[in-house]
Amino acid sequence: MNFSRLYFSTITATVLINATALALSPAATSARGSADWATPAHDVIGVDAAQLTPEFWIARLEKPDAVVFDADAIVARNARLPRVDSSVLDLHALPPTLARKQVRAWIQALSSRPDRALVDADGKPLASAAVDALIDSLALADIPERQPTRYGLVVHRADLRTFPTTHGAFSDLSDTDVDRFQESALVPGAPVVIAHQSSDGQWWFVVSARYAAWVEKRYVALGSAEQVFAYVDKKPYRIVTGASATTVSTPQQPALSELRLDMGVRVPLLADWPAAKPVNGQHPYTAHVIELALRNDDGTLALAPALVQKNADTQGDYLALTRANILRQAFKFLGERYGWGHAHDARDCSGFVSDVYRSMGVQMPRNTSDQAVSAGFDHRAFGRRDNRATRMAAVHALDVGDLIFIPGHVMMAIGSIDGEPYVIHDTSGLSYRRQDGTMTRVELNEVSVSPLTPLLFNDKQLYVDRMTSIVRIRPVIAKESPHKP
């Protein structure tokens, strides 16, 4: 990763002062020595029940409800993001036709022959013939020289896959939670460009604003660009502000029955729906009448009304970006199962932080590797020249909502206790040293709260030692000089 010429705006003075102090300290490894961390029965050091609520952390803040990034500034930053970050695509900007070279490049950037040994769900090595079949299923020879740019809307939460298959592939059977063919997921109402079809005709290679991958055709409805973008931009709307919300059960319209809508999803509100007119056989006075995408039998797009209960966690607009809202939104996922690539109808570490900020209107790149370096956000980057003292000074200057990146993982700062910074993160587990100095691993597989500085990246390095970037989702106040690793 290239972290040069990246900035972080508000911690320079604190870092310089604290780095000097810490460099002179023989205990500049964490806020507390390993011997100070008692191990509770649940094995997650430094955490008790009181700390598992957002109100605990909110109560420690001054002016927790102050807006730190206003709505107009967020809209402007979202608009700028595709212009400065190649991992985010403005679908409006695509040409009316797609060239074979572009489509082939999209597919081959993702669907390349695995460079590691993999096993299937039965633990059998993924044979060369099976991999050949996956490559053949891409139907690269069938990509036309030029094709009209086709658009669609996602109609159901859908997995994005490396290859057009639902079959999993794993490094080994000890870690079947990590399907190496699982890339991400799309939510209902997400716009996509349909670029290609698999050899069996059951999958489309789609390009969304944040990811390009294979999706089952049954989850995408084909419409015109005008239809798709009119739906995406339609007002008024509702924003899902809970971890998720579901439409009501309806036998009259099974495709829209108990449909899951994840945090941050925006759906049009049919505000002019007649107050006494039933929706799919149900009176609407206890619910919001929303509009959702449907897939007709021929694959084309239709729009239909559905109901979301008024007591569901939704709002008429994005939440204000305040530290209190960051905490409340993040803690709505506490205990949710970890889902590599958004598997298990859940999310992974980068999806977790993205959904929290999406509920406040902030759009982010999909993967940690892009989030950590995106030119659309303000960074404090770290390289080989940054010693532990400098890094510790930086983490002690964290503010609520700051994102801390290490290779392959992102955490969100939630506050500190007695000088120890704490984070919430969606993680497979964590490692630390017990009071006797032995290293222990706690398997979590969930959104979790933990102190930051005791966490071990490996037997010799802390997470802090491997920190690559801190991102603050705020307006720039005063930029520091470029940091050169």
Give the dihedral of Cα atoms 102, 105, 106, 112; nearest 10 deg.
Answer: 160
pLDDT at 328: 98
Give me the amino acid identity at 305: P
pLDDT at 423: 98
- What average pLDDT does the segment 71-97 reach? 96
Q: What is the mean pLDDT of residues 120-127?
A: 90
Percent of the chain with pLDDT over 90: 85
Tell which wins on pLDDT, 21 or 449: 449
Q: Would you say 74 and 67 are in contact if contact means Cβ atoms under 8 Å apart?
A: no
Distance CA 471, CA 464 (A): 14
| Distances in whole angstroms, Cα of residue 233 to Cα of each of 120, 236, 269 | 42, 9, 12
The whole-angstrom separation of Cα 181 and Cα 161 is 6
- With CA atoms as reference, report the closest residue to 196 among 81, 286, 110: 110
Over residues 88-109, mean pLDDT: 97
Residues 186-225: tens digit of each pLDDT? 999 999 999 999 999 999 999 999 999 999 999 999 999 9
The pTM (predicted TM-score) of the whole model is 0.91
Q: Tens of pLDDT along 300-351?
A: 999 999 999 999 999 999 999 999 999 999 999 999 999 999 999 999 999 9
Can you read off the two tokens belonging to residue 172? 């080994």
* Average pLDDT of span 261-284: 98
At 34, the pLDDT band (50, 70, 90 cuts) reads low
Helix (H) or strand (E) holding 390, with range, is helix 388-395
Is 476's pLDDT higher than 90?
A: no
CB atoms within 10 A of CB 103: 21
Q: How far apart are CA 261 and CA 188, in angstroms?
A: 7
Longest dimension (CA), the chain: 73
User: What's residue 177's pLDDT?
Assistant: 85
Whether the bond between 125 and the residue before it is cis, its omega within 30 degrees of 0, is: no
**For 360-413, how does the pLDDT look when each residue is reduced to its tens digit (9 = 90+)?**
999 999 999 999 999 999 989 999 999 999 999 999 999 999 999 999 999 999
